[in-house]
Amino acid sequence: MINEAVISLSDKADLYLVPAANNSMTPEIAEGDLVLFDKRVSHDTGKVVVLCFNGSFMIRGIVKSNGNMILRARNWLEFKDIEVTTNDRFHILGVVLYSISPIGSGR
Protein backbone atom coordinates (compact mmCIF):
# COMPACT_ATOMS: atom_id res chain seq x y z
CA MET A 1 0.00 0.00 0.00
CA ILE A 2 1.02 3.57 -0.60
CA ASN A 3 0.95 6.28 2.01
CA GLU A 4 -2.12 8.47 1.49
CA ALA A 5 0.03 11.58 0.88
CA VAL A 6 0.03 12.40 -2.83
CA ILE A 7 1.80 15.58 -3.91
CA SER A 8 0.83 17.36 -7.11
CA LEU A 9 3.84 19.02 -8.73
CA SER A 10 1.74 21.95 -9.98
CA ASP A 11 -1.91 22.94 -10.28
CA LYS A 12 -2.24 21.77 -13.88
CA ALA A 13 0.36 18.97 -13.92
CA ASP A 14 -0.39 15.37 -14.65
CA LEU A 15 2.72 14.31 -12.68
CA TYR A 16 2.48 13.16 -9.07
CA LEU A 17 4.78 11.79 -6.37
CA VAL A 18 3.84 9.01 -3.95
CA PRO A 19 5.98 7.08 -1.47
CA ALA A 20 6.26 3.31 -1.88
CA ALA A 21 4.99 1.74 1.34
CA ASN A 22 6.31 -1.80 0.84
CA ASN A 23 8.77 -3.88 -1.18
CA SER A 24 6.30 -5.36 -3.66
CA MET A 25 8.23 -3.94 -6.62
CA THR A 26 11.82 -4.62 -5.54
CA PRO A 27 14.46 -4.48 -6.89
CA GLU A 28 13.29 -1.52 -9.03
CA ILE A 29 11.21 0.24 -6.35
CA ALA A 30 11.85 -0.27 -2.63
CA GLU A 31 9.90 0.77 0.45
CA GLY A 32 10.53 4.47 1.09
CA ASP A 33 11.32 5.33 -2.54
CA LEU A 34 9.38 8.21 -4.06
CA VAL A 35 7.57 7.21 -7.24
CA LEU A 36 6.83 9.77 -9.97
CA PHE A 37 3.82 8.85 -12.09
CA ASP A 38 2.00 10.46 -15.01
CA LYS A 39 -1.77 10.33 -15.37
CA ARG A 40 -1.56 10.99 -19.13
CA VAL A 41 0.54 8.01 -20.20
CA SER A 42 -1.29 5.01 -21.65
CA HIS A 43 -1.32 2.06 -19.24
CA ASP A 44 -0.69 -0.82 -21.61
CA THR A 45 0.38 -4.34 -20.71
CA GLY A 46 3.88 -4.42 -19.27
CA LYS A 47 3.73 -0.97 -17.70
CA VAL A 48 4.20 -0.35 -13.98
CA VAL A 49 1.30 1.68 -12.60
CA VAL A 50 -0.01 3.33 -9.47
CA LEU A 51 -3.53 2.12 -8.87
CA CYS A 52 -6.37 1.84 -6.41
CA PHE A 53 -7.65 -1.71 -5.91
CA ASN A 54 -10.59 -2.29 -3.55
CA GLY A 55 -9.68 0.80 -1.54
CA SER A 56 -5.93 0.13 -1.32
CA PHE A 57 -3.27 2.06 -3.22
CA MET A 58 -0.67 -0.14 -4.92
CA ILE A 59 2.21 -0.08 -7.35
CA ARG A 60 2.09 -3.08 -9.68
CA GLY A 61 2.82 -4.25 -13.18
CA ILE A 62 -0.09 -4.89 -15.54
CA VAL A 63 -0.28 -8.20 -17.39
CA LYS A 64 -3.12 -9.51 -19.54
CA SER A 65 -3.68 -13.26 -19.60
CA ASN A 66 -6.57 -14.97 -21.41
CA GLY A 67 -8.47 -11.68 -21.53
CA ASN A 68 -8.05 -11.07 -17.78
CA MET A 69 -6.05 -8.27 -16.18
CA ILE A 70 -3.42 -9.41 -13.68
CA LEU A 71 -1.68 -7.10 -11.19
CA ARG A 72 1.84 -8.42 -10.75
CA ALA A 73 4.47 -7.50 -8.17
CA ARG A 74 8.15 -7.72 -9.10
CA ASN A 75 8.75 -9.32 -5.68
CA TRP A 76 6.64 -12.36 -6.58
CA LEU A 77 8.04 -14.47 -3.72
CA GLU A 78 6.29 -12.29 -1.14
CA PHE A 79 3.41 -10.78 -3.16
CA LYS A 80 1.06 -12.97 -5.20
CA ASP A 81 -0.58 -12.04 -8.50
CA ILE A 82 -3.99 -10.39 -8.22
CA GLU A 83 -6.56 -11.14 -10.91
CA VAL A 84 -8.97 -8.25 -11.40
CA THR A 85 -12.61 -9.40 -11.52
CA THR A 86 -15.85 -7.58 -12.29
CA ASN A 87 -16.56 -7.46 -8.53
CA ASP A 88 -13.39 -5.47 -7.80
CA ARG A 89 -13.18 -1.70 -7.47
CA PHE A 90 -10.22 -0.90 -9.69
CA HIS A 91 -8.79 2.34 -11.07
CA ILE A 92 -5.38 3.07 -12.59
CA LEU A 93 -4.09 6.46 -11.43
CA GLY A 94 -1.09 6.64 -13.74
CA VAL A 95 2.06 5.07 -15.17
CA VAL A 96 5.30 5.07 -13.16
CA LEU A 97 8.07 7.06 -14.84
CA TYR A 98 10.80 7.14 -12.15
CA SER A 99 11.57 6.05 -8.63
CA ILE A 100 13.83 8.07 -6.36
CA SER A 101 15.69 6.34 -3.53
CA PRO A 102 16.46 8.16 -0.28
CA ILE A 103 20.05 9.27 0.26
CA GLY A 104 21.92 6.69 2.31
CA SER A 105 19.57 3.85 1.35
CA GLY A 106 22.43 1.96 -0.30
CA ARG A 107 20.63 1.69 -3.62
Q: pLDDT for 62-77, tens place per residue?
A: 999 888 999 999 999 9
d(CA 103, CA 47): 26
Element (DSSP H or E) covering residue 69 = strand 68-72
- Eight-state DSSP code of residue 102: P
User: How many domains would you assign to the chain?
Assistant: 1
**CB hemisphere CA count around 29 (13 angstroms):** 27
Domain that holds residue 55: 7-100
**CATH number of the domain enclosing 46:** 2.10.109.10
| Domain membership flag for residue 1 | no
* Predicted pLDDT at 100: 93
Q: pLDDT for 92-107, tens place per residue?
A: 999 999 999 988 776 6
* Higher local confidence (pLDDT), 45 or 6: 45
Work out whether strand 90-100 and strand 7-8 pair parallel, antiparallel, or are unpaired: unpaired
d(CA 27, CA 81): 17
Global pTM value: 0.82
User: Residues of the chain with pLDDT > 70: what percent?
Assistant: 86
| Domain membership flag for residue 59 | yes
